[in-house]
Amino acid sequence: MKNKLNQIIKHIKEIEKQLKIIKNYVKYNIKNRRGIKVNQNIKNNNEQVNVFDVVNYLLKHFDADKYKITNMKINKLLYYIQGHYIAKYNKPLFLEPIEAWMFGPVIPHIYGEFFNFVNNPIPNNYICEGKTGNEINQEIQEFIKKTLNNYINLSSYDLSVKTHNEKTWGNAYNPRKKWKNNIITPQSLKEFFAKEQKEENKHESK
C-alpha cells in the first residue's frame, strides 16, 4: 500500500513538472509568435484560408457551451479536420503546423490564442485577429460539418485519449524535446486518415 502511494505521489510530481514545462513553453510561444500568426504564404493568397479562419468558422457555427469547445478541444478538432482534408484532397486546408504535445495534437498559435481561457469554453463571439478574412466556401463548410459529426460530441479528455491511440501523434511525440518541433507531418496525416476513410467507406457500403 505504501509503495503504491509513493508511486502515485511520484507520478503526480512528474505531471506537475511536465505541466510547468508546457506552461513555460506556451509563454515563450505567445511572446514570440503572436506577432507572426498569419503565414505570409497564405496571407498573399486570395483563396487560401488559414487556421484562424477555420477557428472563427467553428466558433460561429458550433455552440461553444453546448459542445464544451475549450482550448484543448478546438486543437483536437482542427487536427481531425486537417487530417481528413489532406486524406481526401491531397493538400492541407491550412498551412500552420500541428505539433505532438503531451496531451495530444496542438497548433501552438491556437493554443497561445486561447491560453487565458484555461479549460473554460471559448465564447462564440470571439474572433481571432490572425484571420486572413477569406471566406470558407460552401464545399469546405460542408466538409467540416460532416467531419465533425464524429468528433464534436466528444469531450476534450476523450479526444485527447483518442489521439494518443493514433500513430500520427505517437510517431511524432518526443517528451525529451519538451514540445518543440514535434511536428505531425502532412504525409503522416495523409497516410493515417486515408486508411481511416477507407475503413469508413467499407462500413458505409455494407
Predicted confidence (pLDDT) per residue in 56-87, tens digit:
999 999 998 899 999 999 999 999 999 999 99
Query: Which grid coordinates belong to 63?
Result: 455552440
Any bridge partners for residue 100, and if so which? Answer: 105
176: confidence class by pLDDT, cuts 50, 70, 90:
confident
Query: What is the extent of the structural domain holding 148?
Result: 2-205
Q: What is the mean pLDDT of residues 26-49?
A: 48
> Which pTM was predicted?
0.79
The yes-or-no verdict on residue 21 having pLDDT over 80 is: no
Encoded amino acid at 71, one letter: N
pLDDT score for 175: 80
- Per the model's pLDDT, the better-predicted residue between 3 and 116 turns out to be 116
Domain count of the chain? Answer: 1
Any bridge partners for residue 99, and if so which? Answer: 106, 183
pLDDT score for 7: 66
Nearest CA to 76 among 161, 139, 196, 198? 161
- CB within 8 Å of 190: residues ≥ 6 apart: 86, 87, 90
Query: Which grid coordinates belong to 132?
Result: 486572413
C-beta of residue 49 within 8 angstroms of C-beta of residue 94: yes
